[in-house]
Amino acid sequence: MSERDSEVAPVSTSDPLALTERWEDIVTDDRNRWTETGGDEGFWATHADEYDRRFVGKPVGLSRICSLVGPSDTVLEIGPGTGRYTRPLARRVSKVTAIEASSSMATTLDRNLTSANCRENVEIVEEEWPTADTDGHDWVVAGWSLYRQPDLRACMDQIIETANQGFVIIDSPGSLPPHRRIAVRAGDALASPPPRQAFYCGLLADRGRYPSVETEPKTRERRADSRTALVENLLSDALNDPLAHAEALDPWLHQEPDATDGTWCYRYTVPAAVISYVDDASGQPPMNVTGESQAATVEVGR
Ligand SMILES: C[S@@+](CC[C@H](N)C(=O)[O-])C[C@H]1O[C@@H](n2cnc3c(N)ncnc32)[C@H](O)[C@@H]1O
C-alpha cells in the first residue's frame, strides 16, 4: 500500500459510499445553521410572506407528481411551506397531510389554502418530520425540505415505510445560482451546495430502491426598489463588500416598468432534480414525464 493510499479514510462496510457521514457534516456545517434551535424558524419567520414571489411558473416536478397521484390517494407532504405543491395536490387527491415545522410557514399555508378554496382535505400538522406521528400514505412528497435531516439514512427509511405507492423528492442537483457562483469566485468557500440528488439516490439504491431522476429548469426571481438594494440583498450574506461585485450580476438584473412590488428584478434559471420512485408492487410502471414538461429523463440503475 502506498503512503497516499494509507491516508484515505477506510470505507465503512455498512455505508459503502460514506454518504450518511458526509451528509451529516454538510447539515451540521451549514452556514444557515438549520440544526440550531430557532435557526430555520427564524429564517422562515422573515421570509414566509414573500416566499411565493420568488418563483416563476409551475413548481418543478409538479407534472411528475400529478402524473402519479389519483383521486382516491392520500399524500404526506414533508415541509409544504406556503403550499406551492399542496394547493394543486389538494385538488387532485382525497387527503393531504402537510407536516410543517415552521409555525410562520404553517400560518401562511393555512391562509393560502383557505383563499385558494382547497383547505378542506388538508390536515396541517405543525411538527418536525419524521418525529410526527403519521400513518402510512399512498405517496410522500418532499419539495426542497430534507435539507436539515441530520440522519439521512433514517429519513429515507421513514419515507419508504410511509409511502405505500411511491414518493417524489425535489431538490438541488448541486448547481449554484449566479449570485452564489459570484460569491464563491469572490472567496466565499461556504457557498458550495451538496449535490443532494446523489445522496438521496445513493441511499435509496443501498435499500434496493432505484428511482427515476429527471432534470427540470427552475426559474426564480428577487425584486427590490433599487439595483443597490437588490445586489446587497443577494450578496451581503456572503461578502463584506457586495457592491464591489455588482457588475458581475448585470446579466441577470433588469428593470421592469410594470413591476408592482419593486423596480429592479434579478432572475435566473438553474436545473433542479425530480427524484421519483414508484413501488413495483403497486402495479404502476416507472413513467417519464409527458406533456408540458420538457424534462430530460435518466433512469438510474434499472
Ligand atoms: C425551502 S421550503 C420549501 C417549501 C415547499 N415545499 C416549496 O417547495 O415551496 C422548506 C420548508 O420545509 C420546512 N421543513 C424543513 N425541515 C422540516 C422538517 N423536518 N419537518 C417539517 N417541515 C420541515 C421548512 O419549515 C420550510 O417551510
Q: Packing angle between helix 39-47 and helix 103-115, nearest 10 degrees?
A: 30
Rounded Cα distance, 161 and 234, in Å: 39
Per the structure, how many domains does the chain have? 1
Task: Give the CATH number for residue 28.
Answer: 3.40.50.150
Name the band, by pLDDT with cuts 50, 70 and 90, for residue 31: low
Q: How confident is the model at residue 298 (pLDDT cuts 50, 70, 90)?
A: very low
- The least confident of 60-69, 88-97, 154-163, 235-244 is 235-244
pLDDT value at residue 294: 40
Q: Is residue 252 part of a domain?
A: no
Mean pLDDT of all residues in 102-110? 95
Assigned domain for 16 exists = yes
| Model confidence band, residue 165 (pLDDT cutoffs 50, 70, 90) | very high
pLDDT at res. 191: 58
| pLDDT of amino acid 174 | 81
Residue 78 lies in a domain: yes
Ligand 1: distance of its center to the CA of 10 in Å? Answer: 35
Question: Of 8-17, 32-41, 183-192, 224-233, where does the model show the most confidence?
Answer: 224-233
Question: What residues are in contact with ligand 1 under a 6 Å CB criterion?
Answer: 40, 44, 78-81, 84-85, 99-102, 105, 128-129, 143-145, 148
In a domain, 295, yes or no: no
pLDDT value for 7: 53
Q: Which domain holds residue 210?
A: 3-177+187-217+271-280
Q: Does 239 reside within a domain?
A: no
Pocket test for ligand 1, best of 129, 145, 149 (most atoms within 8 A of CB): 145
Give how far the C-alpha of residue 152 lies from the chain's centroid of Cα atoms, to the nearest Å: 14
What is the 3 state secondary structure string of the chain? CCHHHHHCCCCCCCCCCCHHHHHHHHHHHCCCCCCCCCHHHHHHHHHCCCHHHHEECCCCCHHHHHHHCCCCCEEEEECCCCCCCHHHHHHHCCEEEEECCCHHHHHHHHHHHHHCCCCCCEEEECCCCCCCCCCCEEEEEEECCCCCCCCHHHHHHHHHHHEEEEEEEEECCCCCCHHHHHHHHCCCHHHCCCCHHHHHHHHHHHCCCCCEEEEEEEEEEEEECCHHHHHHHHHCCCCCCHHHHHHHHHHHEEECCCCCCCCEEEEEEEEEEEEEEECHHHCCCCCCCCCCCCCEEEECCC
The mean-pLDDT minimum among 81-90, 188-197, 230-239, 272-281 falls in 188-197
Ligand 1 centroid – CA 79 distance (Å): 3
Residue 248 lies in a domain: no
Distance 148 CA to ligand 1 centre (A): 9
Residue 146 lies in a domain: yes
Which residue's CA is the nearest one to ligand 1's atom 1?
A: 144
Q: Tell me how far apart the alpha carbons of residues 277 and 44 are, in angstroms, rounded to a whole number.
A: 29
Residue 67 lies in a domain: yes
Is a pLDDT exceeding 60 seen at residue 9?
no
The whole-model pTM stands at 0.84
pLDDT at 89: 98
pLDDT of residue 32: 59
